[in-house]
Amino acid sequence: MDQWIDHEQILKNTKVYTNRHTALRGLLGGIGTGNISLTSSGAFCDFEIFGHPDKGLKLPYTFFSIWARPEGKEASARVLEAVPGDAGLRQMYHSGELMGLPRFSKSTYTCHYPFHELTLFHENTPLQITASAFTPFIPLDAKNSGIPGFQLKYTVKNLCDTDVDVSIAGSLLNAAGFIDYDGFDHLRQEGHHYQKTLCRDGLTGIIFGADSLAETAVNNGNLALGAAGEGVTVKEHWQYGGWWDGAEEFWQDFSRDGILEPAPDVKAPVSSERYVGSVAKKQRIRPGEEKDFVFYITWYFPYRYGWWPDGHLGPDEMPDARKWKNYYASQWDDSWDVLCYFADSTNYLWGRSRDFSDALYSSSLGADVIEELVASVNVLRSCTCFRLEDGTFFGWEGCFEHAGSCAGNCTHVWNYAQTLAFLFPELERDMRRTEFLTETDENGSMAFRAKRKLEGKKWDMFPATDGQLGCILRLYRDWRYSGDDEYLKELWPSAVRSMDFAVHSWDEDMDGVLDSRQHNTYDIEFYGITSMTNSIFYAALRAAAQMALYLGDKKLAYGWLDIAEKGSRKMDELLFNGSFYEQNISPELLQAHNYQYGTGCLSDQLFGQELAHLYGLGYLFPEDHVKKAIHSVYKYNFKEKLDGHSSVQRCYAIPDEPGLLLCTWPEGGRPDQPFVYSDEVWTGIELQAAVHLIYEGMTDEAMSIVSGIRKRYDGIRRNPYDEIECGHHYVRSMAAWGLLVALSGYEFNLPENKISFRPRINTNRFTCFYSTGKSWGIYKEIADESGKRSREVIKLYEPH
């Protein structure tokens, strides 16, 4: 069954990081659950489990350690982390970080998503130590991809010629009731804390919680730490006392024989930091033998605010104090229940997650592309996305360090995202329901930020042209991908109103070309005629017409097709300058309105054409014009080094780095005040331009853009799995999944039960992960010496 796995290709697609790559953070946690991050040295950080982002939040005394005693020799103990590469840059470490304890000198980190794999090295160590941490990730299975916790498996091999006794201990701070830190880096907490040892069916562990908290308080919850199998001992709580008494007693106890004893019963704690518990597992390992030490960490904080905290608002500007229950809290009773479910289901969860990983990393798309896909998946697992008890899915645009960034499923940003739609179409379709059934008025006007459900009011701005039209395109994509006719029929009346609103509100003279005020993803209004919004308009008209034809409304369909045909022809005549599409704006409008681009070469100028290619709608404009325009975007806007480029705007790429600028003016004519982000570099727009280049046969150019992103997100300067725009884990970066669709030439038409592939890279021996709304697996296409092609679709998963 596993013959489809290409181990050689997996090795080629594997990037290796070390403890010197200190920017790296691998998210552990499910969709809508919050997460904990693993660093390249093996430490845990960024405990974002309390319903909001919390970059930099560490829980003191939360770590794993190893004790080993070769037969006939002295025992030793170390923290199961490498010394971080930036260890010498800080003046002091607090006790809770335990940086004074022995560590390993080096680590290597690799990711075969969702598996984060670590190897630890130290001179004269008689053991080979590897770790694998994962939270299940199974496309089309949102529940099991939404588990609040992770498994951590240490594998220890004995390199000695004698037996070695080995014990590994996990220690966890009781974070229930967490508020913040004081000036000494001590936690401030609420409630009366408890820790209880629990045993069940080969599991032994501790649940950490607190009583006397309000039921719906966002910090009211619990965590669990458990180990599988026999030979497990527990220190239910560390020694209570002042200073770092508990840490001292734990380390002495563990270092003695690797077996944990109850802490001495002394006076009550001075600091809540002393609410720590540990679980250890001890085994004897024969020469040349290896054994696993399997642990689980889970959490359960049932309630959250809606669009809060919002990084754009002050602490006294909370729009709605109502609490909402997380979806995962409707599936499990507490963190121990989660842990038991995870452990009981490990074979299934590990197996299906490994199938996804092997299929993805067996793909012949190149290591840079694979890492882009993985970075985009991390957005779904970050605090950018959340899910309510009734299953409703919501997303910010991104995350600030301690708050969300830009609320409301923003349509003009989610426009670019493809990852969720291709991996969890159920959740993507839920967003369409919010857009069309909740946020679209009877006149067809759609709010581009979803505020009604969580705040009880409509977002009070004129609709976003690109966002509203993009929702029609995404409805078409979702229907074609799922084959769900009932879903289409459910949303169709609202979609018709939305399309009609666009036709009559943004086209002042009804000539098929949008020319009135057009609010857009740059947070400003374009005036006159732009190819960005018009290309999305023509793609949306074609998509709407196809849906109308399918539902039997030929009159409506042909009317929209007529507008698309005459409008796209006129727009091409007005805007194409022989190299690219400019903005057509009168001197009067240009004088009256800042933030236009005029004669500029806009990287998004044919965004609608890229979407049309992805969704199988064909060319909207003359093919030769399209090819020249997207090549001009690459020629003028992509810089191998940004040195010499001047910008007073936000900076996501520094002078010695590559990047694709949002706009340049190769022939001059830059306005005194161009649109506000024109000099910036956004990965989401880089990626959509790269996808479009692939469709036009310019794969090398596309790959140079992708390589440029990877050079910036190299693990030293930036986290490879966290692409930033207005916040961490930014939604627009999920344009990355279009790379897989374009490179594989994937087309889908599930209403007719058809899929097809036309590889654009490594065409003689091509392999890639594929997915539909009904199954996923791997596609293989091989040409023999005579040119004859064999094609095979291997289905690996199909929901019951």
Mean residue pLDDT of the chain comes to: 96
Report the pLDDT averaged over residues 331-360.
98
pLDDT tens digits, 89-130: 777 888 999 999 999 999 999 999 999 999 999 998 999 999
What DSSP line would sit under 349-398, residue for residue? HHHHHHHHHHHHHTSTT-HHHHHHHHHHHHHHHSTTEEEBTT--EEE-SE
In which band, very low, low, confident or very high, does the pLDDT at 660 lie, cut at 50, 70 and 90?
very high
Quickly state the pLDDT bin for 468 (edges 50, 70, 90).
very high
Beta partners for residue 569, in sequence order: none
Please write down the HEC assignment for all residues of 100-160: CCCCECEEEEEEECCEEEEEEECCCCCEEEEEEEECCCCCCCCCCCCCCEEEEEEEEEECC
Tell me, yes or no, whether 314 lies in a domain.
no
Percent of the chain with pLDDT over 70: 99
Residue 690 to residue 611: CA distance in whole angstroms: 12
Q: Are residues 368 and 346 in the same domain?
A: no
Q: What is the pLDDT of residue 773?
A: 96
Q: For residue 715, what are its two tokens?
A: 């693990």
| One domain for residues 249 and 383 | no
Q: In whole angstroms, what is the distance from residue 353 CA to residue 381 CA?
A: 15
Distance, in Å, from the CA atom of 700 to the CA atom of 705, rounded to the nearest integer, reads 9
- My answer on whether 614 and 674 are in the same domain is yes
Asked if 480 and 578 sit in the same domain, the reply is: yes
345 and 368 assigned to the same domain? no
Q: Is 344 in the same domain as 394?
A: no
For residue 408, is pLDDT > 70?
A: yes
pLDDT of residue 271: 55
pLDDT at 157 over 70: yes
Q: Give 231-271 pLDDT, tens digit per residue.
A: 999 999 999 888 899 999 999 999 999 999 999 987 665 55
**Scanning the structure block, which residue is given the tokens 């991908």?**
481
What does the pLDDT read at residue 268? 60
Contact partners, residue 124, CB within 8 Å, separation at least 6: none
Q: Name the residue range of residue 468's domain.
A: 363-781
CATH number for position 587: 1.50.10.10
Length of the chain: 800
pLDDT at 510 > cutoff 80: yes
Cα(375)–Cα(721) distance, integer angstroms: 4
Residues 547 and 665 in one domain: yes
Report the distance separating Cα 409 and Cα 429, nearest Å: 13
**Does 789 reside within a domain?**
no
* Helix ranges (DSSP H) in 727-767: 737-744
Whole-angstrom distance, CA of residue 467 vs CA of residue 445: 11
Q: Dihedral of CA 83/88/89/94: which sign?
A: positive
**DSSP code per residue over 645-705:** ----S--SS-TTS-EEBSEE-TTS---SSB-TTTT-B-HHHHHHHHHHHHHTT-HHHHHHH
Q: How far apart are CA 583 and CA 590, in angstroms?
A: 10
Asked, for residue 561, whether it belongs to a domain, the answer is yes
For residues 342 and 372, membership in a common domain is answered with: no
pLDDT at 182 (0 to 100): 82
Q: In the prediction, which pLDDT does 191 show?
A: 94
The whole-number pLDDT of residue 158 equals 98
pLDDT digits (tens, 9 = 90+) for 6-47: 999 999 999 999 999 999 999 999 999 999 999 999 999 999
Total domains in the chain come to: 2
Query: At what angle are helices 699-712 and 683-695 packed, to 10 degrees?
Result: 160
Lowest mean pLDDT segment, chosen from 152-156, 163-167, 491-495, 589-593 = 589-593
Fill in the DSSP letter of residue 642: -
* Residue 788 is assigned to a structural domain of this protein: no
CB atoms under 10 Å from CB of 87, counted, come to: 14
Instruction: Give the 3-state secondary structure of residue 778.
Output: strand
Largest CA distance in the chain: 91
Q: Is residue 787 situated within a structural domain? A: no
342 and 382 share one domain: no
Whether residue 278 is found in the same domain as residue 402 = no
Residue 404 CB partners (closer than 8 Å, separation 6+): 52, 53, 307, 308, 309, 310, 311, 383, 384, 396, 398, 727
Query: How is residue 681 written in tokens?
Result: 């570099």
pLDDT band at 289 (very low <50, low <70, confident <90, very high): very high
| 733, 760: one domain | yes
Average pLDDT for residues 462-480, to the nearest whole number?
Answer: 99
Over residues 369-391, the mean pLDDT reads 98
Identify which has the larger pLDDT, 691 or 644: 691
The CATH number of residue 72's host domain is: 2.70.98
**Each residue's pLDDT tens digit, 726-766:** 999 999 999 999 999 999 999 999 999 999 999 999 999 99
| Judgement on whether residues 502 and 573 belong to the same structural domain of the protein | yes
Q: How far apart are CA 58 and CA 65, in angstroms?
A: 17
pLDDT of residue 1: 53
What is the DSSP secondary-structure string of 433-473? HIIIIISB-TTS-B-SS--HHHHSS---SPPBHHHHHHHHH
Cis ω for the linkage preceding 309 (within 30 of 0): yes
Q: Nearest 5°: CA angle at 203, between 213 and 134?
A: 80
Task: Evaluate if residue 272 carries a pLDDT over 60.
Answer: no
Residue 293 token pair? 């030490």
* Residue 355 is assigned to a structural domain of this protein: no
Q: Identify whether 326 is part of a domain.
A: no
Strands 290-300 and 149-158: antiparallel
Residue 495 predicted with pLDDT over 70: yes
